[in-house]
Amino acid sequence: MFRLKDDDWEPVTIGESDDSVFRRGDVFAKCCAVSGVTALRDERDRVEWLAGTNVPGATVADWLESPDGACLITTAVPGVAGTDLPEATHFKAMRSLGSTLRELHSLPDCPFERPLASVVATAADVVRRGAVNPDFLTDEWRALDPAELLNRIVAESPYIESASDLAVCHGDACLPNVFFDPVTLEVTGLIDVGRLGVTDRYSDLALITIQLQDEWSADPQPFLSAYGVPDPDQRRLEFYRLLDPLTWG
C-alpha cells in the first residue's frame, strides 16, 4: 500500500472502497497497493476529464506513484453528501439531482466506455470467485445462489442491449457520491467517478432511484420528472439493480 510521508492526514472510514482514504484540509488522498494502481489511474483520468466539463466535481491536485502503489489527491467538493440532507429538503434536492444527472448524460465526446458485455463479464468473474457481497443484495436475492442471479442477467442481456440508450454515466450513482449546497440544494459536485463512462443511461437511473426509495423513503418521481423520464422502463431498472451488486468483489 502506498504510504503518505506526512502524518497530518486524517483517515476517512466511510465508504466501500478497498483503498485507504485520508483528508487534510480541503483535499482528499486515496491510496492503493500495486494491484490497484491501474484502477486508480483510470479514476484520476476520469476526474480530470469531468473537471473540464460544466458538470461539477473534484479536480486532481496531485498524483503520486511508487513501487508500493499510488495515491490520487483531489480537491474536496463543497457541500454535504445526499445521505446527510434532512427530509424537508428531499423534494427540491431530487429536482436538482435530476437536472444534474441529465446534464452529465448529455455531455459529448467522452473518451471512456463501459460496454454492457464488459460489465457482465466483471459480474461473472465476481460470482466465479465467490466474492459477491451479500450485504449488497436484497433479502430475496440473498436466498438464491449468486450463479442463479447471474443467469438472470445473462438471459435478460439481449433485451437490455437492444433497448440501450447510451450516455455518459457516473457508474456508481448513489447518494453518498452526490454533494449538495445545504441552503440552495443545488448539486455542488459528483465524487467517486472511477466507473464513469459511456453506457446505458439506465445504469445510473436504476441505482439513484432505488437509493431515493431506500435511503430517503421517497417517491423518485420528482427526480424522474426533472430528469425527463417520468415513465421509465421498469424492466431495465430492475436489470441494472440486480447487475450492480454482482460487480463489486
* Enclosing H/E stretch for 64: strand 60-66
Examine the residue annotation and report whether 125 is marked as an active-site residue of this protein: no
Grid look-up 450516455 returns 167
* CA nearest to 72, candidates 103, 104, 45: 45
Q: Which of 19, 172, 200, 204 is catalytic?
A: 172
> What is d(CA 133, CA 138) in angstroms, rounded to the nearest whole number?
11
> What is d(CA 154, CA 121) in angstroms, rounded to the nearest whole number?
10
CB 2 within 8 A of CB 34: no
> What is d(CA 154, CA 199) in angstroms, rounded to the nearest whole number?
17
> What is d(CA 60, CA 82) in angstroms, rounded to the nearest whole number?
22
Q: 33 phi and psi, to 5 degrees?
A: -80, 175
CB 31 within 8 A of CB 71: yes
Torsion angle, CA of 13/17/21/26, rounded to 10 degrees?
Answer: -90
Q: Where in the sequence numbering do the catalytic residues fall?
A: 172
